[in-house]
Amino acid sequence: MSKGNLRLFMVAGALISSGSVYADEMIRNGQFNGIDGWWTAGAQVATDNNQACMNITNPGSDPWSVILGHGGVGLAEGESYIISFNAYADVATQVKTLIQHEGPPYTHYFVDDTKIGTEKKHYSFEFKQDKPSDAGGEFQFQMGAQKPATVCISDMSIQGKPYVEIVENSPIRHNQIGFLPKADKFIFIASDSEQPLKWTLSNAQGINIDMGRTEPFGENRASGEQLHRINLSHYTSEMSGLTVAIEDDKGFPFDISSNVYSRLKYDALSYFYQNRSGIEIKPEFVQRPDLARPAGHPNDVVTCFDKQDSWGNNWPGCDFTIDTTGGWYDAGDHGKYVVNSGISTWTLLNLYERGLWLDSANTPFTSGNVAIPEKDNGVNPLLSEARWNVEFMLAMQIPAGKKVYAPIGDQSADQKLELTEIDASGLAFHKIADEAWTGMPLPPHMDTQKRYVGQPSTAATLNLAAIGAQCARIWRDIDADFSKQCLEAAQTAWDAAQKHPEIYAYDNFTGSGPYNDLELDDEIYWAASELFITTGNDKYKQVVVDSPLYLDTPKANIEADGDIYWQYTAPLGTISLAVVDNTLGKDEIAKARQAIIETANNYTKQIEAEGYHIPYSVEEYPWGSNSNLVNRSVFLIYANDFTGELQYLKAAANAMDYVLGANPMNISYVTGYGTNAAQRPHHRFWAKAADESYPAPAPGALIGGPNSVSFSDPVAAPLKGNCIGQTCYRDNINAWTLNEITINWNAPLVWVASALDEGKLN
């Protein structure tokens, strides 16, 4: 068996194949042909004529408030390095030129307070690495805490011997927790051998119980590997502690059990409680005592953003405050976003509605084992958890008669936005977040930054309309007053969105992501669908049936943007129409279900072409690629609900196999699940990787995973050109484009783990 593809080299933090040639130049785009390889913070950067110019309008209070950075600078102890570049500014200024470790404790290996004048000047520094070798070095120009300026850099170079680390990766990959009895059971082997390989299967006692030869698959285009497979699907009896061995390599142990997902669905749901804002996270409701913490932002009363943004726009604020206490923190930071809340909350509520309306599905989470403060209130705990965020979304609605400033119309990212004062009654603020990005690590209860709501947006308002309508029908017989509040908010939001159809979000302050969206036909269709289902009102029905996205579902093409996510929500409306009782008509509901089945068919057709037997063929793996696999599984499971055919459930289980270890990184992308599970998600409280005094992540968090599209963080940047699709990943707390965790990824994990646990593959 050839093991040439099993040894990967980490050069300056980037995994590359052993056949690569190591150049002495460690800056991959020193001529600034675009911004590839670089990342920025706190200011806009433009590249032209082989130079990068940072337009610094808001310098902040610290040097690191504004950064032009480049990851993947590996330094070897005892070696000498030369840093050189040209620079000038429109006004005399000073920057910090430095190389440091890419994360806490940010050990400095070189630092210079560099004075930059208005005439272009060449700078050169030589230093010797007198500290231990580090493959995770990072070069930065820190430009904050000075006067506003435009600083231009060109001919950037760092020369010297890159530090190289070798990382071993086992060739045997599979779902590390195991397989449901009636599911497919594939073991994958990375090998250059064109001949079948001899394998053995051992039980928990180490006794060989089966043997055979692998089936060569050939090249897996998504990873560049040559793969073999072992098919153990004929094993349907429950067994534990099984292992597969090939020559000297032994895989991780796995089970065949109907309980494979029984614990995971609870831990995945616990993610939401543990990322609540505004409430103490108590030890009796978490898996380990160190996961408990005081309430973060217990009085989240804020006003509108009232400073200059990074585009140079002066925001005047507003004359009122709103109480946004509660909700879920969106991801690893302390922001809360209405648009991402929308799809996340809908997914949890839809899981409940599936059990409510379909005979093929059970009502989820009825065992009483969900650990949240509301567990004994007599309401399904899935609803209680979702309500925590629904109430936050309702609080983001602007009261009647209030005026705010907002940018109106389709405005491109390179122009100065014009702000207009509007009557914002009924609109929803887009987000609430810290004024600037918080450091790492920092638990929410220790966050002292000023917080703001950003502008309202039409997208956020339509998300509120959709979730308010969904809430109204679900709580109608549970809490009539809350149901009425939800419906009134939804209808008010719908009317406000019709009045202001072109308020688009953008990156108007630096402590949060923009979640911008210029295509709103999908939100309109989704919101109208939910309102029509709940009210039966013809005015909403007309919008639904007249929509260009009527009964829309993903087309399952190979483009990276073909799956549902916060910017593509039309299929949520189609699913609700297909599942929840409504007056659309029997034939039209059947068409909605058929559209879902057709999407599922397109997913299943992709399986045989993929080396890891997954329903996912794409040209590139996008940010949050793992969430696409579980979101596809939602459609696959609904196809099983509507047809009874097990092939769809098996395809969904295949997707989970990949997420839980059947991938070229040989890693489980769900924290706490599997022998080799991700341990360093990008999270400011679950930050043991940054500081030993902080907790490791709670079990049950879905990592975003491989990303071959965005290389915009300091860890991912060196991977560009050195990875293929499924291999563009590192388990690193500073790799937010690869290792982020967030509510809209964990929500479908809850959905799928619950459905598989209670499904027909047991």
Residue 386 forms beta bridges with which residues?
Answer: none
Structure tokens at 91: 């006004």
Nearest to 669 by CA among 598, 717, 582, 730: 730
- Candidates 102, 134, 309, 731; catalytic one: 731
User: For the chain, how far is it from start to end, CA to CA, in angstroms?
Assistant: 36
Q: How far is CA 693 from CA 281, 287, 443, 658, 696, in A?
A: 18, 17, 12, 32, 9
User: Measured between alpha carbons, how far is 469 from 724 in angstroms, rounded to an integer?
Assistant: 42
Q: Are strands 14-16 and 172-173 parallel, antiparallel or unpaired?
A: unpaired
How far, CA to CA in Å, does 540 sit from each of 469, 531, 552?
A: 12, 6, 17
Virtual CA dihedral for 223, 225, 226, 227, nearest 10 degrees? -60
**Is 740 in the active site?**
yes
> Looking at 134, 225, 740, 757, which residue is catalytic?
740
Give the torsion through C-alpha atoms of 379, 381, 386, 391, to 10 deg: 50
Q: Taking the alpha carbons of 105, 111, 113, 114 in that order, is the dihedral positive or negative?
A: negative
Strands 14-16 and 7-11, by their bridges, are antiparallel
Among 345, 316, 298, 300, CA closest to 569: 345
* 95 touches 122 (CB < 8 A): no
Rounded-to-integer distance, Cα 278 and Cα 389, Å = 11
Coil/strand/helix, residue 163: coil
Residue 609 and residue 713 in contact, taking contact as beta carbons nearer than 8 Å:
no
Q: Which are the catalytic amino acids?
A: 731, 740
